[in-house]
Chains A and B, each alone.
Chain A
């Protein structure tokens, strides 16, 4: 068998083979015995990484709408000095802009104040009083760059690596390469604190050209997070169990005619897994057993923080239960137009104070909670956004999109805590020196999961595809 037919064979048997080490799922030295083939027929069977992983779970905090990191992390005394003046021409070299009526004057909110925190002395603005207490855990990436002038294409790129829909999201690649660590839950979960799905929806957690089994499962708000998780209203638990027993009996009888058919056997097992998921998924999102102190810490007692706090508390519970990739899309803050999120083209102060309030306390609580439970060493928390915002004002008191230089950060196992990588120019417009594109961020996340992004591959339409398309470099300076 050459590689191509081996891959096809494994895929048919339900196992995707990427650049994943063969030993990971051929425990008996690469030979398929009937028994092991049956064991392996599930496409989400756990697979070994390329090298020892630092983390088991990624919590990917997507700040939807793109916050101004110039108002959160990227302290620019020069910008403050130049505020109200036209932008010096020299800063604009090499960029195409689309701001209405050309570029207006540099803008700084008169409410903004900055302080240094922790031993690292990282700057935080007044908008993040809680998160700033964790300064020494964070590795900042202050030279983030991306492509795009509109949210949709840049959000796609942030999640899938391309500005056109169709590629697998990062979480799908992780699910494909590593399989599931807990068969009773999906291995890739999407959370959002909104009463409706994030715009553009599932393309941002799509499996793209990978088999659909690797796509993110959106957990809806409420007690029953997955579609069709609950039994039909009229059916009692024991009644369903009896039905499942009958199903098993009928299926096993027919399966006797096809003794080598692992796919049919997998389908029999999928009903047992589903039965367990009916219990395990609601339990995983049930916050009623959390202590009052925890609920308070995550901000569940305050309308401003409640919805995001609930989602992050769910994220922690899913982390404990071995979910591999948890993608959290931020929803609208109380008092902010639902369509906007962080997208403050005007009235930035009003928008950002509300959005920052929504996420600041819950994220701080998440980091503290993970640490306390000994999970932070094996978890990676990423603050990511589709782009940042411009140092010049828009509509007087807002900021426009900035794909040329913005801040993202990572916390967790294998991350060099209390550091800053990269920088923007003196007014926070363009990155200077070494930049970090979405591909580099993806490569680094995969590295921490024990995956070499160059070897995590899938053959699609004749091309050996990988998560980082044809780019990507692990940012070694961010690793401990």
Chain B
């Protein structure tokens, strides 16, 4: 009886939403979902037949037929192909995240072989830059950061290994199902595979506050983060909504939510796993660390002697400062630990450091009224502080970045999990019924096949197997839609992380299912998916404005025109580095700290460690943005203004906002201006002394084309006028000229004209044409 009522309610709400959507979506999928009770995205992926189209010649891939069928039904013609130079700039930015070299542009433009496009696309996909660019998109979803966030924002020294794992996975074309399984349960499915362990970095990137006093709440919040992240990033489901109440639009109950959370109930993190083999990075790190340790051995030993006197009392003080329910676990003998107690105590051990003992000594020593105060502790503290000051003088010997350990998820060697309860309105202090791990009941009848091992619950493996199954209706659809959105700005389902009822329906459901089905059939090969899109006629279209399309389809949902796009934060910085010839093109490794603007005020954490120490190695200043240290409390300023991923949450879509702060960054930053000086030098080196040849070279580098007549005229005028202005500046004898850097030829040139040329280069690099890909 109850079932019937629910069924009716679903029919009603479906009818309403279908009605609301009628004006923008085909009614075909709505009708289909009306027949079945399940939401369209929860139904199995179909294998739709390639539609018949009139303009057959335009069809290069099945994708084109699906897009063209829609266009023809609306009486709109697709656009002609983009010219080759525009195409290679577009494709290189999309696949690599940087602009192409003029040589690559030229080679492609003149390549008359019938498979010129295939050769280009295969070259792009086989480069390591492909992995770098795709990794950045994935890291957005993994809310990747190199620090924990919250007030102290501790560095997570091993996270870069996960970033490198992701780069490698894309470059090796690791099948997506395996990629998902490793990230969710690498520790269970391949405990001896170091890469699979590192893969679980996906789960452990949650924001965390190491000084939290409420460890039971922490455990709940960490589970919550993992559940919500997996729901959004992999399944495109806003399951998090059902934590506090049954989902308002989707058939996800609070019970379903907590049943999902139960898969993570026994999940802890080990941040100190020794790597199997020491690579160059580890050796370098240990070498640096050994030097530091040798230099500070005596000071550290003296400090340790002081700490040892108060260690027991300090530890007790530290432990007593946790909240009541945490304290229960902390002061319980190990023999009596429940799985939750185990989690709490592991956490405590992970976050307790000598600094906590020192804090205790400080509190007592600095307060004569403190009950534990003695003259001795005051003296010892004074001595300790003196040693700390001495120790600080050796800070420059500390390894600047990198690590000797790896981090991974662990279940602490136990197969039994803490119980998971439904929580009243999501509040952790108000547990209701206990639940077992299960998949959302309305989505699937499938029951998890949980096989515990001696050391792990097997829960995450069961979850991973369900998510990465060809039968899962969401996983493949959500992923292919993300890749589509990456190329076309908008997904086939516009709400790319919400495939629920409140999200949008696919504008082209057959295309979505074709892509998803084909993706699974091709062995979940991500490269093949990219390749097919890149070689499609849809992707090859020109982005030129068409009044007829603008009128018929102002939002360009049907894709009769290629949608131009503002470059993403990393693309802008990295392409400027490429243009100026300054890019240090090294793949992977510990994150780097490029310089900040001169008026940056850098804070310190509770242990007096500054949150940003500019890398000593200047090569690190010009690495790709993917390698710039992601400090949650201090986004890298140059990237921050261009709508980068917010690392606190799953970041689904890069916004495009246009602000004066962006203009200030690109026009005024000394760093960017320095790159323009280097670009000016490169241009002169490569083009010789003819100014108009220089202008052409500049345009080839930045825009993959030559300057036209009117542009050349404008630039020529500018040089003349700017030269006079600079000349005027020099009149009082006090002036600085910014001339091109890196000039190879020693011949004397007019420095004022050269300074004007730097301004020209800087201005052209600031233009819209550079910041967009068309």
Contact B150 A153 (CB under 8 A): yes
Contact B214 A14 (CB under 8 A): no
How many A residues face the partner with a CB closer than 8 A? 105
The yes or no answer to B618 lying at the interface (CB within 8 A) is: no
CB proximity of A204 to chain B, nearest CB, Å: 9
The yes or no answer to A100 lying at the interface (CB within 8 A) is: yes
CB proximity of B44 to chain A, nearest CB, Å: 22
The yes or no answer to B655 lying at the interface (CB within 8 A) is: yes
Bound state CA distance, A166 and B662, in angstroms?
22
For B762, the closest partner residue in chain A by CB is A243
Contact B209 A462 (CB under 8 A): no
Bound state CA distance, A149 and B763, in angstroms?
52
Contact with A along B732-766 (1 / 0, CB 8 A): 00011110000000000000000100011011101
Bound state CA distance, A4 and B501, in angstroms?
12
Contact B323 A246 (CB under 8 A): no
- Residue from A156, A228, A266 with most neighbouring chain B CB atoms (10 Å): A228
Contact B738 A149 (CB under 8 A): no
Given A98-B321, A462-B502, A463-B241, check contact A263 B769 (CB 8 Å). no
Given A234-B737, A242-B721, check contact A152 B151 (CB 8 Å). yes
Which stretch (A125-133, A216-224, A312-320, A352-360) binds chain B? A216-224
Cβ contacts under 8 Å, A41 to chain B: 658
Contact with A along B320-336 (1 / 0, CB 8 A): 11111100000000000
Given A98-B323, A462-B502, check contact A270 B603 (CB 8 Å). no
For B736, the closest partner residue in chain A by CB is A234
Cβ contacts under 8 Å, B150 to chain A: 152-153, 156, 165, 200, 203
The yes or no answer to B602 lying at the interface (CB within 8 A) is: yes
Of the candidates A257, A260, A270, the one whose C-beta lies within 8 Å of that of B659 is A270
For A469, the closest partner residue in chain B by CB is B244
For A148, the closest partner residue in chain B by CB is B214
Bound state CA distance, A12 and B766, in angstroms?
22
CB proximity of B155 to chain A, nearest CB, Å: 15
Contact with A along B600-611 (1 / 0, CB 8 A): 111111100001
Which stretch (A138-146, A206-214, A429-437) binds chain B? A206-214
Given A98-B321, A277-B664, check contact A462 B241 (CB 8 Å). yes
Which stretch (A115-123, A190-198, A301-309, A411-419) binds chain B? A190-198
The yes or no answer to B441 lying at the interface (CB within 8 A) is: no
Contact with B along A396-409 (1 / 0, CB 8 A): 11000000000000
Which stretch (B119-127, B174-182, B633-641) binds chain A? B633-641
Bound state CA distance, A198 and B241, in angstroms?
32
Which stretch (A248-256, A283-291, A363-371) binds chain B? A248-256
The yes or no answer to A87 lying at the interface (CB within 8 A) is: no
For A11, the closest partner residue in chain B by CB is B655
Contact B321 A250 (CB under 8 A): no
Question: How many inter-chain residue pairs (CB < 8 Å) link A and B?
Answer: 306
CB proximity of A261 to chain B, nearest CB, Å: 7
Contact A461 B221 (CB under 8 A): no
Contact B213 A395 (CB under 8 A): no
Given A242-B718, A345-B363, check contact A208 B23 (CB 8 Å). no
Of the candidates B209, B663, B721, the one whose C-beta lies within 8 Å of that of A273 is B663
CB proximity of B84 to chain A, nearest CB, Å: 18
- Residue from A227, A242, A345 with most neighbouring chain B CB atoms (10 Å): A227
Contact A397 B369 (CB under 8 A): yes
How many B residues face the partner with a CB closer than 8 A? 117
Cβ contacts under 8 Å, B21 to chain A: 2
Contact B545 A346 (CB under 8 A): no
Bound state CA distance, A100 and B372, in angstroms?
13
Cβ contacts under 8 Å, B24 to chain A: 1-2, 5
Contact B544 A246 (CB under 8 A): no
Contact B504 A347 (CB under 8 A): no
For B20, the closest partner residue in chain A by CB is A2
Cβ contacts under 8 Å, B370 to chain A: 346, 395-396
Bound state CA distance, A190 and B212, in angstroms?
26
Of the candidates A203, A246, A264, A271, the one whose C-beta lies within 8 Å of that of B760 is A246
Of the candidates A5, A200, A274, A397, the one whose C-beta lies within 8 Å of that of B664 is A274
Of the candidates A234, A250, A257, A463, the one whose C-beta lies within 8 Å of that of B738 is A234
The yes or no answer to B710 lying at the interface (CB within 8 A) is: yes
Cβ contacts under 8 Å, A266 to chain B: 658
- Residue from A166, A234, A278 with most neighbouring chain B CB atoms (10 Å): A234
Cβ contacts under 8 Å, A264 to chain B: 768, 772
The yes or no answer to B580 lying at the interface (CB within 8 A) is: no
CB proximity of B553 to chain A, nearest CB, Å: 12
Contact A243 B722 (CB under 8 A): yes
Given A232-B668, A247-B767, A266-B658, check contact A239 B649 (CB 8 Å). no
Bound state CA distance, A211 and B654, in angstroms?
9
The yes or no answer to A233 lying at the interface (CB within 8 A) is: yes
Of the candidates B241, B600, B611, B668, the one whose C-beta lies within 8 Å of that of A231 is B668
- Residue from B149, B211, B658 with most neighbouring chain A CB atoms (10 Å): B658
Cβ contacts under 8 Å, B668 to chain A: 228-232, 278
The yes or no answer to B188 lying at the interface (CB within 8 A) is: no
Bound state CA distance, A121 and B658, in angstroms?
51
Contact B664 A150 (CB under 8 A): no
The yes or no answer to A71 lying at the interface (CB within 8 A) is: no
Contact A149 B213 (CB under 8 A): yes
Contact with A along B605-640 (1 / 0, CB 8 A): 110000100000000000000000000111101001
The yes or no answer to A268 lying at the interface (CB within 8 A) is: yes
The yes or no answer to A151 lying at the interface (CB within 8 A) is: yes
Cβ contacts under 8 Å, B437 to chain A: none
Contact B497 A461 (CB under 8 A): yes
Bound state CA distance, A438 and B611, in angstroms?
29
The yes or no answer to B33 lying at the interface (CB within 8 A) is: no
Contact A155 B641 (CB under 8 A): no
CB proximity of A63 to chain B, nearest CB, Å: 16
Cβ contacts under 8 Å, A268 to chain B: 768
The yes or no answer to A113 lying at the interface (CB within 8 A) is: no
Cβ contacts under 8 Å, B652 to chain A: 461
Bound state CA distance, A397 and B195, in angstroms?
53
Contact A208 B726 (CB under 8 A): no
Contact B633 A200 (CB under 8 A): yes
Contact B643 A347 (CB under 8 A): no
Contact A246 B768 (CB under 8 A): no
Of the candidates A96, A249, A274, the one whose C-beta lies within 8 Å of that of B714 is A249
For B657, the closest partner residue in chain A by CB is A213
Contact with B along A1-26 (1 / 0, CB 8 A): 11011001101101000000000000
Of the candidates A197, A198, A461, the one whose C-beta lies within 8 Å of that of B238 is A461
Given A98-B323, A150-B213, A199-B152, check contact A250 B601 (CB 8 Å). no
Cβ contacts under 8 Å, A246 to chain B: 714-715, 718, 760, 763
Bound state CA distance, A97 and B640, in angstroms?
39
Contact B718 A100 (CB under 8 A): no
Of the candidates B151, B212, B649, B665, the one whose C-beta lies within 8 Å of that of A155 is B151
Contact A339 B149 (CB under 8 A): no
Cβ contacts under 8 Å, B500 to chain A: 462
Contact B669 A251 (CB under 8 A): no
The yes or no answer to B494 lying at the interface (CB within 8 A) is: yes
Given A149-B213, A261-B545, A267-B768, check contact A247 B244 (CB 8 Å). no
The yes or no answer to B670 lying at the interface (CB within 8 A) is: yes
Q: For window 347-401 of chain A, which residues contact chain B by CB distance below 8 Å?
A: 347, 395-397
- Other 17 A-B pairs with CB < 8 A, given A212-B655, A229-B664, A233-B670: A43-B658, A98-B322, A99-B321, A153-B212, A199-B152, A200-B633, A203-B149, A203-B150, A208-B648, A211-B655, A227-B664, A228-B668, A234-B735, A258-B545, A261-B545, A268-B768, A270-B662
A/B interface sample: 25 pairs, CB < 8 A? A5-B494, A12-B656, A99-B321, A152-B151, A165-B648, A196-B602, A197-B634, A199-B152, A201-B153, A212-B641, A212-B657, A227-B661, A236-B729, A239-B725, A239-B759, A243-B718, A243-B722, A246-B714, A246-B715, A250-B767, A270-B658, A271-B660, A274-B664, A278-B664, A396-B371
Closest A-B pairs by Cβ, 5 of them: A152-B151, A274-B663, A396-B369, A166-B648, A462-B498
